[in-house]
Every structure is written in structure tokens, then in C-alpha cells.
Amino acid sequence: MSTVLSTPYRLEFSVEVPGTPEQVWHAIATARGLSAWFLPTRLEEREGGVLHFSMGEDMGSDGRVTAWDPPRRLEYEEDWAALMGKEPDELSPMTSEFVVEARSGGTCVVHVTTSGFGTGAAWEEEWWTDMGVQWMPSFDALRLYLTHFAGQEAAQLEASATHSADADTVWEALRGSASVGEVGSDVQVRGLNGTVQRVDERQVLILLTGPVPGMLTLYAFDAGERTGIAGVRAHLFSADAPEYVRREQGACEAWLGGLTVRA
């Protein structure tokens, strides 16, 4: 018997970003653009095209493009059930829509809506709440990308480590190790200089100015009872960026794994 999917979930917000509709479209609707500020992405740029967001080694989300109207509207579905390890009829597809609205003065507003249906289980509500916490701040990275690096290809560094402590405790250790202050403060993380752009509950976004320019996100999240993950995601833009990633990947993972976490 099929599961009754009676509980709707929805995230909806808007962000104003610099650029023409064509520049914004490139950033939100192409594999190169999405990979430069979000997650490593594979995308067939057409209606019906397949897409894949990489979330780390052997992890990712698969879907397909359901609407393609450049440079105005993109819609795609992700296989939410497969992402969560559920049977196909236990959860609906998760649908995301991006609508680009041009404004005077050289900016656009991107309207974002993500929705789906579930069974009303407690974990579903928690998952959507957590997704909103992680998802919406990403669009500050989109704003920074379009302001400072529009059209450029990123070299991405992603590293994480698991600790036997809750996410708040892990975050305290990570933020303390990086000596991250408030918005507007200068910071240096593993030899990269930058300025803090956004501070959330367990996430910080930094605009990097040198020696390798780009964007850096430090984050922590819960991964089960008494288990927290500390992570770093960097999008770097220079001829030296790929070499920096090759050189620092292992060292960054070792730094995260060696955090002094007081459980």
C-alpha cells in the first residue's frame, strides 16, 4: 500500500544580487556557475536534463530539470526519497524554483521556492528546518560571487571531520580555532586573509582577499546523537587556486580532525 503524502513543506525567500539577468542566470542555471558558489554540480542545461549535486565522497542528490526559460525561470526536481535512503513512495520529489526579476540600477532579485510532501514524521520537519538554516545563507555566497567573481570558474576545497560531541560544542571549537569574530572583522584561516561577511548559528561566511581570493564557509552540524561534524568549504578564484587546493586538502582535514572539542 502506498504511503499517504499529506504534509506539505515549503521554503521561500528572495535575494537581491548585482548583475544582468544573463549573468545571474549563468550563476544559478549552469554547472560552472552553481559549482562556483554552491556545490560541485553536473547539469544538462535544458528541460528534461539531469542534474547532480555532490555533497562529498559517495554522497549527492540527483534530479532533473522540469522547467527551463532562460534567463528568467529555472525549476528542477530532486529525488528526496533516494537522498534520505527511503523507498520511492515514502516522500515526494523535492521541487526548487528560481525566478530572476530584473531591477533598475544593475541588480536582479532571485526568488527561490523549495517544496515537497511527506508523511508528517518528526524527522521531516526537523530536516526542512535544518535545510533552511543551511540553504538560505548560501545565497550570500551567490551575492559575493556575482559582486567579485562573476563568470569565473572556482577551484573548490571541501573538508570535514566527525567528533563525538553535539554540533554546538563542535562549532565552538571550530570558531575558536579559527579566531572568527563578528561581521566586518578581519580574519586569517590557514594562511588565507579575509573579512567576515555573515555569522549564523553554526556557520560563518568569509570573503577572502589573499593570497588566494575567494569565499570560505566554516560550519558545523549534527549527524546523530552526540555526533557533530565540523566542515570547511572554499570557492577559490585565481591561477594558483587549484595548486592551493591540492596542497592544503589533507592539511585542512587534519586541522578539523584535531580540533580540541570538549564533549
Q: What is the reported pLDDT for 3?
A: 64
Give the lowest-confidence range in 22-36, 64-78, 120-134, 172-186. Answer: 120-134
Average pLDDT over residues 169-180: 95
| Omega within 30 of 0 (cis) for the link into 71 | yes
User: Could you tell me the pLDDT band of residue 178, with boundaries at 50, 70 and 90?
Assistant: very high
3-50 residue pLDDT tens = 667 899 999 999 999 999 999 999 999 999 999 999 999 999 999 999
For residues 236 and 155, the answer to whether their CB atoms sit within 8 Å is yes
Average pLDDT over residues 115-140: 89
| Omega within 30 of 0 (cis) for the link into 211 | yes
47-75 residue pLDDT tens = 999 999 998 767 789 999 999 999 999 99
- The pTM score is 0.91
Over pLDDT 70: what percentage of the chain?
Answer: 97
Q: What is the reported pLDDT for 89?
A: 85
Between the alpha carbon of residue 29 and those of residues 47, 180, 218, the distances in Å are: 11, 32, 25
Look at the block and give the residue holding cell 553536473: 42
Q: What is the reported pLDDT for 136?
A: 83
User: Could you tell me the pLDDT band of residue 176, with boundaries at 50, 70 and 90?
Assistant: very high
Whether residue 1 has pLDDT greater than 50: no
C-alpha cell at position 215: 569565499
SS3 assignment for 176-221: HHHCCCCCCCEEEECCEEEEEEEEECCEEEEEEEECCCEEEEEEEE
Say what the alpha-carbon torsion angle 26, 102, 12, 195 is, to the nearest 10 degrees: 70
Q: What is the reported pLDDT for 87?
A: 87
Average pLDDT over residues 231-255: 95
Cα atoms in the 13 Å half-sphere on the side-chain side of 170: 27
Please give the backbone phi and psi of residue 21, each rounded to the nearest 5 degrees, phi first: -55, -35
Q: How far apart are CA 131 and CA 114, in angstroms?
A: 10
Q: What is the reported pLDDT for 2?
A: 54
Q: How far apart are CA 185 and CA 183, in angstroms?
A: 6
Q: How far apart are CA 193 and CA 206, in angstroms?
A: 9
By three-state DSSP, how is residue 53 classified?
strand
